[in-house]
Structure 1
Amino acid sequence: MEVDLRETVDRLRRPEYTGENRCGLCTVVNLTLAVLLSAGIAAVAWARFEPLSAVLTSALGLSAFVAAIYFRGYLVPKTPVLTKRYAPDRILRLFEAERPEPPTTEDGDLDAEATLRRADAVTDCDRADDLCLTDGFRDAWRRRIRRSREDDTPREELSAVLGVSPGALSYDEHGDAFVAFYDEELIGRWESYAAFVADVAAADELRSRGRGWSALTVRQRSTVLQRLRAFLEACPSCGGRLRAGQEVVESCCRSTDVVAIECEDCGARLFEARQRIEPERQR
């Protein structure tokens, strides 16, 4: 009997709409509908039965509705799809406010490419309409990454990059992500520890070259460093080969197109850029 019940529950469960994938807005909408439907059942039952029977009927109905939302993520079919398509963007942002987002590739009027060119870090490729690392910067970046990996010093070096006291810095890991805090305030989030090593090494080299680097804000530096990470040729943590890929990630009430660079050997994610896929809306 217990096995049959578990199998029934597993058949009802929709993991793509529950757990970490649960849409907060969909849940609120469906719970509101569940309460309204239960109230309607109570009104009809009150007119036909005794008050106690009406209350019990309404309570049973509400319990069934809540169970459906818990196991399936919604009560009304296709609610997640309809929410993506018709809910105002400002409402969707409210329900995604606590979800960590990767660093953006643009920061206001900052021209990351011009900043890297000015530091003689990138130049036009010989055989393609694209950018490449300069030989001098590539070699210097590799040396700094190798030294950081061997000495395990990038955490200490971050204080020099930011110009703050190393004693006030702390670090933590959330899944694969690596985060840094200054006086318990979040100051940086990287896709992996390997990405953190790459950024610290690159920032140290760019700082040594001057050319306007010190005039950038911390957020602007983060933008430049993330852009630079797309030029990595090997994993900063293990030296493994890198591969680029593209995938669509369903997150709450949004669909996101993710372009990522990962290490084939250790699986560390070095670069991640997201672009929301706009749903077709009714005209």
Structure 2
Amino acid sequence: MSTLLDRIRRPATTGDDRCWPCTVANGVVLSLAIGLLTITGRRVAAALVALGGAAAIGLRGYLVPYTPRFAPRLVAALSLPVDPFDHGDERGRGSLSDAGVAAAGAGNGDGTGSETGDRDESRPAETETEPPSGEAVVTALIEAGAVVPAGDDLVLDNSFRTEWRREMMRLRGCDLDELAAAADELTESSIDARVGRNWRGRASTVRLEGEGPAGRTASLREAVAVAELAAARALESRIDNPAVRIAAGQPLRSLLAECPLCDGDLTVTRSTCCGEVTPISSTPPAKLACPDCDVRLFTYD
């Protein structure tokens, strides 16, 4: 019996990983089927369907075959104001450098920032709001010795890897409120960092919101927040410009070898999760993930 149950169970869509919108949707379908059978006088069949359907939803997370595949596309087509699948910024794409955060402290262009709003009038105003380019960030990381060339690739310098890991260990014990407070201190006043909540009202992310019509929002999962906040802190002794330090977190995440939360080995995978939409005939992008924590650290485009 246990072998049969093990074959039926779907750990990826049950337990802590259960997709509740899928469960609720399948529960509604099951209720309609039971109601229809009951109305037509087939009560025995209704009872059997109820037992079988409840068991399927309990063990597999869904009753209707391929729900995890078609439900996300259906939700995407409906353009709902919230993401019922609770995947945030495509699970791993949210970054401190989003929502205009990368421009924090770049007012004078010398890495010191400006708390009073004063700026060098000889410089164009755009330099105060434009984040550093990807090329500028990579150049700064190389010049600072944080990353070093290895053939055609870049890898973390051993000393910086140690410093970054030390900062991650300090932050991994923080809850989301403390991580949001750390992000709020790191970013400029026009960026509001707070705890983001999912559709169930539970704390799930560090949410960044930029002010004004040009302000954007970003949601960072705990692992991403720990990695990027720790990177910004580890770079303080190497890079003066705070805008570059903040923007560096995202590319540095792609070079991680261990999980910021558990120190487990990270793997590169193309597997998808419930709620992720992949266009038809397209290959899912590669992701850097921790299989032990079930968290995604980076999505390679």
- TM band (smaller chain): 0.5 to 0.7
Task: Spell out, residue by residue over 1:84-128, the C-alpha distance to the aligned partner (whole angstroms, 9 max, x if none).
Answer: xxxxxxxxxxx5997644349998953142232133210112xx4
Q: How does 1:1-283 map to 2 (within 5 A)?
A: 1=42, 4=45, 15=67, 18-22=70-74, 25=77, 100-101=89-90, 102-103=93-94, 109-111=133-135, 112-125=137-150, 128-150=151-173, 153-164=178-189, 169-174=193-198, 178-182=205-209, 187-190=217-220, 192-211=221-240, 213-216=241-244, 221-222=246-247, 224-247=248-271, 251=277, 255=282, 257-273=284-300, 275=301
- Alignment-derived partner of residue 62 in structure 1: none
Q: CA deviation at 1:164?
A: 3.8
Q: Supply the distance in 1 between the matched residues of 2:147 and 2:44 (Cα, whole angstroms).
A: 62
Q: CA deviation at 1:145?
A: 0.9
Q: Is the 8 A contact 1:180 1:186 kept in 2?
A: no
- Alignment-derived partner of residue 83 in structure 1: none
Q: CA deviation at 1:227?
A: 1.3
Task: Spell out, residue by residue over 1:168-217, the C-alpha distance to the aligned partner (whole angstroms, 9 max, x if none).
Answer: 63212449962324589864322x31121011000122244234x3355x
- Alignment-derived partner of residue 109 in structure 2: none
Kindly provide the amino acid, as one letter, of the partner of residue 22 in structure 1: L
Higher helix share: 1
Secondary structure of the residue aligned to 1:244 is: strand
* Higher Rg of the two aligned structures: 1
Q: Is the 8 A contact 1:242 1:263 kept in 2?
A: yes
Q: Supply the distance in 2 between the matched residues of 1:116 and 1:177 (Cα, whole angstroms).
A: 31
Q: Is the 8 A contact 2:278 2:284 kept in 1?
A: no
Kindly provide the amino acid, as one letter, of the partner of residue 260 in structure 1: K
Distance 1:195 1:176, change over 3 A: farther
Q: Supply the distance in 1 between the matched residues of 2:222 and 2:66 (Cα, whole angstroms).
A: 33
Q: TM-score, normalised by structure 1?
A: 0.53
Q: CA deviation at 1:150?
A: 4.3
Task: Spell out, residue by residue over 1:20-65, the C-alpha distance to the aligned partner (whole angstroms, 9 max, x if none).
Answer: 331655x8xxxxxxxxxxxxxxxxxxxxxxxxxxxxxxxxxxxxxx
Sequence identity (%): 25
Q: Supply the distance in 2 between the matched residues of 1:156 and 1:11 (Cα, whole angstroms).
A: 42
Q: How many residues align structurally? A: 197
Q: TM-score, normalised by structure 2?
A: 0.51
Distance 1:242 1:3, change over 3 A: farther
Unaligned runs of 5+ in 1: 28-94, 276-283
Secondary structure of the residue aligned to 1:251 is: coil
Q: Is the 8 A contact 1:233 1:241 kept in 2?
A: yes
Aligned alpha-carbon RMSD (Å): 4.3
Q: Is the 8 A contact 1:171 1:179 kept in 2?
A: yes
Q: CA deviation at 1:148?
A: 1.7
Unaligned runs of 5+ in 2: 1-41, 54-61, 84-88, 99-130
Distance 1:98 1:252, change over 3 A: farther
